Amino acid sequence: MKPNIKVYKSIDDLSLAAAQLFIESASQAIAARGQFLVALSGGGTPNHLYRLLAGAPQRNQIDWQKVHVFWGDERIVPMDNPGSNYFQARKVLLDHVNIPMDHVHRVQSSLEPASVAIEYAQTLKEFAAPPLDWPRFDLVLLGMGDDGHTASLFPGSPVDESEPIIAVTANYQGRPANRISLTPRVFNSARRIIFLISGLSKAVTLTQVLGEDSHLDLLPAQRIQPTDGELLWLVDEAAASKL
Ligand code: 6PG
């Protein structure tokens, strides 16, 4: 299927569009099912979106009491470490909105990675959409690394497709190496998945990921293919410059 790519002038325009889609997904989910289940991503790119959602007018267009926040991946560092995806989202977004604390389903990163994965699988189970053992997310936000990784699914790392969550060790740009990641089968059951891609350093890899050739092992972002949902690529002009 032809990828659905939208190109924006800047990260600001891209983030505004993403905020609109976030608001739309939230209202549709809340109207249909009474709650909005969203999986956030780490990395620097979504911070612009998080900042917008934390301020007016966007903040007031979401019924935060009905939002449940999860993470698509997490770095195994203390929860108050700036490298923690939870810490980043809390600081920029969650501390500024009226979301109940028990709706923020953070990864318990104080344990060792394999136990963290087991513990988070349990958290997901509490929101499971049978026959799945995990929730069908209304929205999944994802980024992509210069190397084609997404969430913490890195090139060449084995992905045990039988598990909803895996523990991973990967070195990337000096960021924390021990991580956990949801696996493609969890992401791919979502209703909507949005990639946020910004910057020239992503341009070549983006062309490969969106190209006709499939290299699932080398370009894990290609593993994201929703089974019965929508996949959107929001890309700024710099990242799109080689498409
Ligand atoms: C993480 C991420 C990761 C990120 C990409 C892109 O926890 O590191 O979830 O997959 O999205 O590395 O990061 P940037 O947005 O900083 O380029």
**DSSP one-letter string for 15-66:** HHHHHHHHHHHHHHHHHHHS-EEEEE--SSTHHHHHHHHTSTTGGGGS-GGG
Confidence of residue 130 (pLDDT cuts 50, 70, 90): very high
- Cα–ligand 1 centroid distance for 113 (angstroms): 19
Does 160 have pLDDT greater than 80?
no
In this predicted structure, what is the pLDDT of residue 243? 96
Cross-strand partners of 40:
71
d(CA 187, CA 193): 8
Confidence of residue 73 (pLDDT cuts 50, 70, 90): very high
Confidence of residue 2 (pLDDT cuts 50, 70, 90): confident
Q: What share of the chain in percent tops pLDDT 70?
A: 100
How do residues 165-205 score in pLDDT, each as one tens digit?
A: 999 999 999 999 999 999 999 999 999 999 999 999 999 99
The ligand 1 atom at the shortest distance from the C-alpha of residue 179 is 7
In this predicted structure, what is the pLDDT of residue 15? 98
CB contact burial 52-87 (16+ within 10 A = b; e otherwise)? bbbeeebbeebebebbbbbbbbbbbbeeeeeebbbb
Residue labelled with tokens 């410059």: 241
In this predicted structure, what is the pLDDT of residue 27? 98
d(CA 141, CA 133): 20
User: What does pLDDT average to over the chain?
Assistant: 96
Question: Is ligand 1 within 6 A of the CB of residue 148?
Answer: no
Is the pTM of the predicted complex or chain greater than 0.85? yes
In this predicted structure, what is the pLDDT of residue 158? 74
Residue labelled with tokens 């092992």: 217
Task: Give the list of residues 6+ apart from residue 77 with CB closer than 8 angstroms, or none.
Answer: 83, 84, 109, 176, 178
By alpha-carbon position, which residue is closest to atom 1 of ligand 1? 42
In this predicted structure, what is the pLDDT of residue 112? 92
Question: Is ligand 1 within 6 A of the CB of residue 151?
Answer: yes
**C-alpha separations of 164 from 32, 217, 239 in Å:** 26, 18, 30
Q: Which of 17, 9, 43 is nearest to 142 (CA)?
A: 43
- Cα–ligand 1 centroid distance for 31 (angstroms): 31
Q: Which DSSP state fits 192?
A: E
Helices (H) and strands (E) in the chain, counts: 6, 9
Average pLDDT for 146-155: 98
CA angle 231, 228, 140 (to 5 degrees): 45
Question: Is ligand 1 within 6 A of the CB of residue 220?
Answer: no
Does 161 have pLDDT greater than 80?
no
- Cα–ligand 1 centroid distance for 43 (angstroms): 3
Does 1 have pLDDT greater than 90?
no
- Cα–ligand 1 centroid distance for 32 (angstroms): 31
Does 143 have pLDDT greater than 80?
yes
Task: For residue 168, give the amino acid letter.
Answer: V
Side-chain-side CA neighbours of 57 within 13 Å: the count stands at 2
Residue of 149, 157, 219, 236 with the most ligand 1 atoms within 8 Å of its CB, for mutation: 149
- Cα–ligand 1 centroid distance for 63 (angstroms): 27
Does 77 have pLDDT greater than 90?
yes
How do residues 87-102 score in pLDDT, each as one tens digit?
A: 999 999 999 999 999 9
How do residues 13-72 score in pLDDT, each as one tens digit?
A: 999 999 999 999 999 999 999 999 999 999 999 999 999 999 999 999 999 999 999 999
By alpha-carbon position, which residue is closest to atom 4 of ligand 1? 43
By alpha-carbon position, which residue is closest to atom 2 of ligand 1? 42
